[in-house]
Chains A and B, each alone.
Chain A
Amino acid sequence: MPPMIRVVNAVKRFGHLVVLDHLSMEVARSEKLVLIGASGSGKSTLLRCLIGLEILDEGSIEIEGEILKAEQVGSRLITPSPAEIRRVCSKLGMVFQHFNLFPHMTVLENVMVGPRHGKGMAKYKAEVLARKYIEKVGLLDKIDTRPPQLSGGQRQRVAIARALAMEPDIMLFDEVTSALDIELIGEVLKVMRELAEEGMTMVIVTHEMHFAEDVADRVVFLDKGKIIEEAPPRVMFRTPREPETQRFLRSVLER
């Protein structure tokens, strides 16, 4: 069986800054991969490239066997069309650090909008689907509330429900608890744990090391756009091999 995600020799530059530097990796079905690294190490950019919000300058991304790559023809870089990107990347869902909810829509509308307007589903079907996922994140009582009236933890759970309502095979989480007050982090991690137990393939960027240790099958440490080290969580957190990893983990765990 092909991997769910395969990244080959990915290079991404912003101007002169190289954010992803010939990075290759794979994610297997149902695997929980945790990406760690200092800010600016390329974790978020990697997720954004996976879901097609950024296009690689070199290399390719393969989602369940379908390849997205930019091709160099002479001096021109030919990037895949937006329609092609959306088609391939529709197997992924993503949750952002800052929720990115639509403030003028209720919780129900936020979760419905993808199935209804993105997939063209009939309204009542989209609503049934949305209710199912809102229930899953435990917010049925907030269904008619708008995001500005919700706590950060609730907002993030809505964002998770919104991504799940697209019924993706893979979920990407980009520092989803970093903008939350400490007492609200638990409710979001609980939802993510449940998803993990159900067998969802997950790629998670996080600074929550205890959560990572519990949930991850594999932890990858990124530095300057490269994979420095990867190992099962216990190995990575107890006996990191590389000096960069040791330094990073020390700085995080001392916090």
Chain B
Amino acid sequence: MPFSFDYVIEILPSLLEGTLVTIRITILGMLFANLWGIVVAVIRWIGLKGLTSFLNMYVTLMRNIPFVAFAFYGYYTLPSIGVTLEPFGLGILILALYYGAFIAEIYRGSMKSVEKDQLEAAEILNLSRWKTMRVVILPQIFIVSLPSLINCLISTFKDSAYLGWITVRELMWHAKNEGALSFRMFEPFFMATLIYFVISYPVALLGRAIEKRYS
């Protein structure tokens, strides 16, 4: 079956619609993953009894299961504990919970990179642990974390493709849908792959440039 440009043009609007959903869910997922990741990292750094060990378990769990497993698990169990979101919202929540653990690890590494000297200075200036975190550490870690956060953004973007399996109408969902309607699988999946690459690659280049600049 030869590659049909006419067919590509025919399915393009549908694929672009999916692309928009993919981008939106990636950005929102990453945003919430960031907020959640900071909260987790701060709590683990300050060390709240009980909560810290629970969060350590959570981070270990997420780091050792594939995203798609967690996505299915979340899709089938979250509604039973009262989380009733439409697929798009659920997708964001699942991305945030899963990638939040990775982002918490990124921030943990950056927090460790703040020199011990500064922490001692904060200590003798009578800053509490929370104040040390807020005033000394947090303002310094974002730039340091940026290259790793961009890597994480790319992973989120790529893994968002699994969300089609849990009925989020993102790019892969549209590609599969178009293929199923016309029985032509090559063009939709080829185009979807191309779109993923075309968006992801410049972001990866940007990440590398930032890394070079700040290292």
Q: Which residues does A use to contact B, with CB under 8 Å?
A: 51-53, 86, 89-90, 92-94, 96, 98, 100-104, 113-114, 117-119, 162-163, 166
Q: For residue A116, which residue of chain B has the nearest CB?
A: B135
Beyond A86-B126, A90-B126, whether A117 also contacts B135 by CB under 8 A is yes
Q: For residue B123, which residue of chain A has the nearest CB?
A: A53
13 contacts between A and B (CB under 8 A): A51-B124, A52-B124, A90-B126, A96-B121, A98-B117, A100-B121, A102-B136, A103-B140, A113-B125, A113-B135, A113-B136, A117-B135, A118-B131
- Residues of B close to A114: CB separation below 8 A: 125-127
State how many angstroms separate the Cβ of B214 from the closest Cβ of chain A. Answer: 13
Q: Which residues does B use to contact A, with CB under 8 Å?
A: 115, 117-118, 120-127, 131, 135-136, 139-140
| Complex contact B121–A117 (CB within 8 A) | no
| Complex contact A53–B121 (CB within 8 A) | no
Instruction: Determine the main DSSP class of B at the interface with A.
Output: helix
| Complex contact A117–B131 (CB within 8 A) | yes
- Residues of B close to A100: CB separation below 8 A: 115, 117-118, 120-121
- For the complex, give the distance between the alpha carbons of A34 and B169 in Å: 73
| Complex contact B127–A113 (CB within 8 A) | yes
Beyond A98-B117, A100-B118, whether A89 also contacts B140 by CB under 8 A is no
State how many angstroms separate the Cβ of B134 from the closest Cβ of chain A. Answer: 8
- Residues of A close to B122: CB separation below 8 A: 113
Q: For residue B115, which residue of chain A has the nearest CB?
A: A100
- Residues of B close to A53: CB separation below 8 A: 120, 123-124
| Complex contact A119–B124 (CB within 8 A) | no
Q: For residue B119, which residue of chain A has the nearest CB?
A: A100
State how many angstroms separate the Cβ of A62 from the closest Cβ of chain B. Answer: 18
| Complex contact B126–A166 (CB within 8 A) | yes
- Residues of B close to A102: CB separation below 8 A: 118, 121, 136
State how many angstroms separate the Cβ of B58 from the closest Cβ of chain A. Answer: 28
5 further A-B contacts with Cβ under 8 Å, apart from A113-B136, A114-B127, A166-B126, are: A104-B140, A118-B127, A119-B126, A162-B125, A163-B124
| Complex contact B118–A94 (CB within 8 A) | no
Beyond A103-B140, A104-B139, A113-B135, whether A96 also contacts B127 by CB under 8 A is no
- Residues of A close to B123: CB separation below 8 A: 52-53, 86
- For the complex, give the distance between the alpha carbons of A104 and B115 in Å: 13
- Residues of B close to A52: CB separation below 8 A: 123-124
State how many angstroms separate the Cβ of A165 from the closest Cβ of chain B. Answer: 9
- For the complex, give the distance between the alpha carbons of A93 and B127 in Å: 14
- For the complex, give the distance between the alpha carbons of A93 and B125 in Å: 8
- For the complex, give the distance between the alpha carbons of A117 and B124 in Å: 12
- Residues of A close to B120: CB separation below 8 A: 53, 96, 100
- Residues of A close to B121: CB separation below 8 A: 96, 100-102, 162
| Complex contact B124–A89 (CB within 8 A) | yes
- Residues of B close to A94: CB separation below 8 A: 124
Q: Which of B117, B124, B131, B136 contacts A93 (CB 8 A)?
A: B124
Q: Which of B121, B122, B123, B136 has the most CB of A within 10 A?
A: B121
State how many angstroms separate the Cβ of B110 from the closest Cβ of chain A. Answer: 13
Q: Which of A53, A86, A98, A104 has the most CB of B within 10 A?
A: A104
- For the complex, give the distance between the alpha carbons of A93 and B120 in Å: 12
Q: Which of B123, B125, B131, B136 has the most CB of A within 10 A?
A: B125
- For the complex, give the distance between the alpha carbons of A103 and B144 in Å: 13
Q: For residue B132, which residue of chain A has the nearest CB?
A: A117
| Complex contact B117–A166 (CB within 8 A) | no
State how many angstroms separate the Cβ of A133 from the closest Cβ of chain B. Answer: 13
- Please list the 6 inter-chain residue pairs (A to B) with the smallest Cβ-Cβ separation, ordered nearest first: A118-B126, A114-B125, A100-B121, A100-B117, A118-B125, A117-B131
